[in-house]
Structure 1
């Protein structure tokens, strides 16, 4: 059964809300904090797929840019997007698209979802690190040490958790006919 546009937009809004809530799970680090945002992006794209997952991420970014306190630390505003963490946040949008396209091509199994989420982690870290290097005028080594190295292990753990939970939730929502199965 095909769901209405309104229903799909409600799902996307719910996805943005999940990202906003998990963004508040934060472990402070000197340069860039560890947050639940990356886990949430992977989880939402795994559950909702390319289109609705990407819309969720875009809505999350737009709400934050408009000043809603949805970014980590209950922050919001355009200044966050042009600050040190802005590259990661903008990277979430590209992450959602790439992850979704990967899952569309290879299917949403646990193994493929883990691979997609690890790719997503790499995309987000790449965007964030390049942004950090340019914004803070850091060397590549310093940008890598501050923007990638502290997040590799925790990023892999978050990717696996997002994939595992995402596949479980997606299958249950498909069985309940609350989202459409990918053909």
Structure 2
């Protein structure tokens, strides 16, 4: 059986594409009990991040978006979105896992509803991008992925605030106060992804 240079090149690029279409932690290839444990850990991390907040009206500044984007990028789009949905499900059932220990249905119809609805979408987006190379192996792309996820979250959150309070109020209270945090949390997320990529690379050597 012959193996030409073209065959080798085709296989190399195919393997590279498969490697890129995989989350940094490769959880999608792990056994089911690993994935269940990852979802549980992720919901705990999201609950803890939600308690790190700066009170503001009508929406507080929290580390929720950092945790959402980072989990999505690490877990991949499917498991990342599922983890965020599980966390939101806990909140809907009354568990005090949202900002300020909030839980129950009220946050899902109040000013924060747009952001909460955006979270699983943003986790899926950053996970999808990470699976295609926008991760810690390419720090600038990781930073861009984090930024895009945060911008999408602000956009969807502001859209709901516009319904409740009008466009000008939505921008003034639901977007502008979060822009500095957007940049800082995106940079922090990219650093975390870079560190994990470097640790994974050392283990593979």
Q: Which interval holds the TM-score relative to the shorter structure?
A: 0.7 to 0.9
Partner of 1:140 in structure 2?
Answer: 167
Measure how far apart 1:175 and its partner are.
5.9
Write the deviation string for residues 18-61 of structure 1: whole angstroms up to 9, x where unpaired: 11101000101122110010111112122222222112111111
User: Given the alignment of the two structures, is residue 5 of structure 1 paired with residue 32 of structure 2, yes or no?
Assistant: yes
Mark the runs of 5 or more structure 1 residues left unpaired by the alignment: 178-183
TM-score by length of structure 2 reads 0.79
Contact 1:47 1:170 in 2 (8 A): no
- Aligned CA distance change for structure 1 residues 25 and 55 (closer, same or farther; 3 Å): same
Write the deviation string for residues 4-26 of structure 1: whole angstroms up to 9, x where unpaired: 11111211221111111010001
Partner of 1:88 in structure 2?
Answer: 115
What SS does the corresponding residue of 2:132 show, helix, strand or coil? helix
Separation in 2, partners of 1:66, 1:101 = 28
Count the aligned residue pairs.
175
User: Given the alignment of the two structures, is residue 16 of structure 1 paired with residue 37 of structure 2, yes or no?
Assistant: no
User: Given the alignment of the two structures, is residue 34 of structure 1 paired with residue 61 of structure 2, yes or no?
Assistant: yes
User: Given the alignment of the two structures, is residue 166 of structure 1 paired with residue 193 of structure 2, yes or no?
Assistant: yes
Contact 1:42 1:163 in 2 (8 A): no
What SS does the corresponding residue of 1:68 show, helix, strand or coil? coil
- Aligned CA distance change for structure 1 residues 171 and 77 (closer, same or farther; 3 Å): farther
User: Given the alignment of the two structures, is residue 155 of structure 1 paired with residue 162 of structure 2, yes or no?
Assistant: no
Separation in 1, partners of 2:117, 2:46 = 14
Write the deviation string for residues 89-140 of structure 1: whole angstroms up to 9, x where unpaired: 1100110111112222234222111111100101110111111111x2x221
Contact 2:50 2:97 in 1 (8 A): yes
User: Based on CA coordinates, which of the two structures has the bigger radius of gyration?
Assistant: 2
Let me know the Cα RMSD of the aligned residues. 1.9
Contact 1:46 1:167 in 2 (8 A): no
Query: Mean Cα displacement is larger for which, 164-173 or 112-121?
Result: 164-173
Partner of 2:129 in structure 1?
Answer: 102
Q: Which runs of 4+ in 1 moved over 4 A?
A: 173-177
User: Given the alignment of the two structures, is residue 62 of structure 1 paired with residue 89 of structure 2, yes or no?
Assistant: yes
User: Given the alignment of the two structures, is residue 122 of structure 1 paired with residue 144 of structure 2, yes or no?
Assistant: no
Separation in 1, partners of 2:203, 2:53 = 33
TM-score by length of structure 1 reads 0.88
